[in-house]
Amino acid sequence: MSSTNRWSGARGTTVIGLVAGAVGILVLRFSGAAMPSVPPGLVLLVAAAALVAFSTRRWAPIVAVLVALSEILGYVLSGSTYGLFAVDSIGILIGTWVRGIGIVLAFAAGIAATVVGYRRTPSEAH
């Protein structure tokens, strides 16, 4: 897979979604949201984005899907959805929306990238 193909289509969109989710977490962190010094979600999103961006393996987007799914579940189960309407803190409002949109985008695009990767012949996709 050439470097131009690696960054286009569903794989590129997956990377954008993962990075947006990470940026959302950073915005939340600097807006005063309660979280660890180094949020695990941030580490996972950045690592998954790097894997999808720099690996030519067809299974790489599956990692992104699993990380995005874990973020979505953590997002909903932790009660972070409060931040979607938190008008008392604009930073938390923006961070929550950026994180949410990013991880949903990464999840959907990761599924598409996985399907595309496995539809190619083995000689086309490492």
The torsion defined by the Cα of 43, 48, 12 and 21, in degrees rounded to 10, comes to -40
* 47 inside domain: yes
Residue 56 lies in a domain: yes
**Position 125 in a domain:** no
Q: Tell me whether residue 43 is in a domain.
A: yes
- pTM score: 0.85
Label residue 3 by pLDDT band (50, 70, 90): very low
Q: Residue 4: pLDDT band by 50, 70, 90 thresholds?
A: very low
Residue predicted with more confidence, 80 or 30: 30
- Sequence-ordered alpha helix ranges (H) in 1-126: 3-6, 9-30, 40-54, 60-77, 90-119
CB count within 10 Å of CB 54 equals 11
Residue at 88 is within a domain: yes
